[in-house]
Structure 1
Amino acid sequence: MRPTPARILRRRVTDLDVVADPAADSDARLRHFTSVMPLWTAQEMASLTEGPAVMDPSEADQITESCLLLRHLAHDEESLVRGPLDRTRQHWIGTSPHELAPSRQPALERARFIEPGRDPIPPSTKPFHLGLFTSTARRDGPSMWRMYLDQGSSLHPLPWYTWELRVTDPAAEVLDIRSAGAWADFVGRYPLVHSGSVFPDWRRVAEDYAGVHMTLRAIVATQGFRFPVGDGLAAAPYWDLESVLWLRWHFSGLRLVEITPPHGPE
């Protein structure tokens, strides 16, 4: 018998709570989260279910609320778990030739920042080749994106350039997605129907918000699940770790905080 979506989510919470010891430090907890959640891929979800994993968002939030790891993390880093976004600790890491650093130069190019415009955007719950993604640095350590890179990946070769991007413009409104209910409301508010699924219409989102912040609590509750919205079923999101998709450039200063060199000759 195939597990229900609720059982799948409870198993996820159990996997996360392996490192829920109150004595563990926040670094260990965040690294554990970063090692667990990327394993919940579309392929893994498909292998567990015969069809789409559809949940009521309130049920997903109720199960997620039982996650001890999230509770402990919220004590140390509430902005990562529930928001609001800490605008002074946003990091972007250049790892390989990128739209904003095409020659792997240690500088971001604002002129290459792509804002949503009139051209159609391929339907996606996490669009790439658009805007800019940042992740919040811990008060005494790296961002979760850096923790993910530390696990090793041939897709992200060294050197890595870590940039701090400060957001001090009060007009830069950021939407914090704090739960499955908030994600369903977001997709329902900005629906883009494609091939029977409902995606966020990022062009419309950009008219109201400078960025969208996906918190850890929302990631646990939503990753791989589809939720009923007004126009059908929301497509399943896969964000893996805390991050912000910036749809407009509102950075008041850029500061190179670290260069991680290659281990040998490039």
Structure 2
Amino acid sequence: MRPTPARILRRRVTQLDTAADPAAGPDADADVLLRHFTSVMPLWTEPEMAALAGGPAVVDPSEADAAVEDCLLLRHLAREEPGIVLGPLERTRQHWIGTGPHELAPSRESVPRRERFRAPRDAPLPPSTKPFHVGLYTSTARHGGTGMWRMYLDQGSSLHPRPWYTWELPVTDPTAEVLEIGDATAWAAFVERYPLVHDGSVFPDWRAVAQDYAGVHMTLRAIAATQGFRVRVGGGVAAAPPYWDVESVLWLRWVFGGVRLVGVVGEDGRG
């Protein structure tokens, strides 16, 4: 018998909590917990989810949120980094990382440039819960440390060769409104508000989103509750499964000022 989506989610919570010692209390090492989250979530791929569920795993958003509510790792992290776990976004601590060119992206830029920024209205967009080749993604840096995107790169990825250039992108546009996705219920409401129906699933219509928001912030709690799951939205249909892996903001407009290089890791790993 296949496990129910709720059981699959609780299995995920158990994996996350292997790094969260209940006895550690508020002294739990946030860097250790963030890196553990970063190592666990990318393992929940589409083939892995399909194998566990025997096909698409459809979950009710309230059921997903109830399962994640018991996650000790997220509770520990929320004490020290509430913006990363729950929101709202820390606008002065946004990092973007430029990596070396790859055969699949030979023209990859290592510097964030306004003139290279592509808004959703400027390019055709295939249906996606996390679009690429449009907008710009940042993650929130820990106080005096790195963001989760850098933690992801530290695990090793042939798609993102060194050198790595970490840039601080403070959000200076006072009119830049960010939509916070804090849990599965918020994700379902977001997709239902901006629906793009394709092949029996509902995706966010990013062009419509860009008319109302400068960015969309996907928190750790939302990722833990939704990654790989088709979440039910209104009308009895389900949203396509998202795969965000780590806390991120998708910026749909250029809202930054004072872009500053804060770190370089060379091809030899030093930096």
TM-score (norm 1): 0.95
Q: Which has the higher helix share?
A: 2
The change in CA–CA distance for 1:120 and 1:142 in structure 2 (over 3 A counts) is same
Distance, in Å, in 2 between the alignment partners of 1:14 and 1:144 is 21
Report what 2:145 is aligned to.
Answer: 141
- Whether 1:233 and 2:238 are equivalent positions in the alignment is yes
The change in CA–CA distance for 1:251 and 1:102 in structure 2 (over 3 A counts) is farther
1:47-58 mapped onto 2 (5 Å cutoff): 47-58=51-62
Distance, in Å, in 2 between the alignment partners of 1:77 and 1:124 is 28
SS of the residue 1:220 aligns to: helix
SS of the residue 2:120 aligns to: coil
Report what 1:259 is aligned to.
Answer: 264
**CA deviation profile, 1:59-105 (whole Å, cap 9, x unmatched):** 1001100000000000010000000000000000001239xx97566
Moved more, 150-159 or 213-222: 150-159
Report what 1:194 is aligned to.
Answer: 198
The change in CA–CA distance for 1:105 and 1:238 in structure 2 (over 3 A counts) is closer
SS of the residue 2:55 aligns to: coil
The change in CA–CA distance for 1:65 and 1:16 in structure 2 (over 3 A counts) is same
**Identity over aligned pairs, percent:** 72
Answer yes or no: is the 8 Å Cα contact 2:172–2:256 preserved in 1. Answer: yes
Q: Return the match for 1:28 from 32, 40, 43.
A: 32
Q: Considering only aligned residues, what root-mean-square deviation do their CA atoms show, in Å?
A: 1.6
**CA deviation profile, 1:17-43 (whole Å, cap 9, x unmatched):** 001122531111110000001100101
- Whether 1:59 and 2:87 are equivalent positions in the alignment is no
Q: Return the match for 1:97 from 94, 101, 121.
A: 101
Distance, in Å, in 1 between the alignment partners of 2:109 and 2:19 is 38
Aligned pairs, how many? 262
4+ aligned runs moved over 3 Å, structure 1? 101-106
- Whether 1:114 and 2:140 are equivalent positions in the alignment is no
Distance, in Å, in 2 between the alignment partners of 1:10 and 1:4 is 10
SS of the residue 2:146 aligns to: coil
The structural deviation recorded for 1:170 is 1.6
Q: Return the match for 1:45 from 41, 45, 49.
A: 49
SS of the residue 1:83 aligns to: coil
Report what 1:212 is aligned to.
Answer: 216
**Which sections of structure 2, spanning at least 5 residues, go unmatched?**
none
The structural deviation recorded for 1:58 is 0.4
**CA deviation profile, 1:166-213 (whole Å, cap 9, x unmatched):** 002121000110000000000000000000000000000000000000
The change in CA–CA distance for 1:263 and 1:123 in structure 2 (over 3 A counts) is same
**CA deviation profile, 1:129-176 (whole Å, cap 9, x unmatched):** 000000000003110010111111111111000000000212100011
Report what 1:222 is aligned to.
Answer: 226
Answer yes or no: is the 8 Å Cα contact 2:101–2:160 preserved in 1. Answer: no
State the one-letter code of the partner of 1:114. Answer: R
Q: Return the match for 1:73 from 77, 80, 86.
A: 77
The structural deviation recorded for 1:247 is 0.4
SS of the residue 1:155 aligns to: coil
Distance, in Å, in 1 between the alignment partners of 2:77 and 2:52 is 28
Answer yes or no: is the 8 Å Cα contact 2:100–2:110 preserved in 1. Answer: no
**Which sections of structure 1, spanning at least 5 residues, go unmatched?**
none
The change in CA–CA distance for 1:105 and 1:219 in structure 2 (over 3 A counts) is closer
State the one-letter code of the partner of 2:39. Answer: S
Report what 2:184 is aligned to.
Answer: 180
- Whether 1:2 and 2:2 are equivalent positions in the alignment is yes
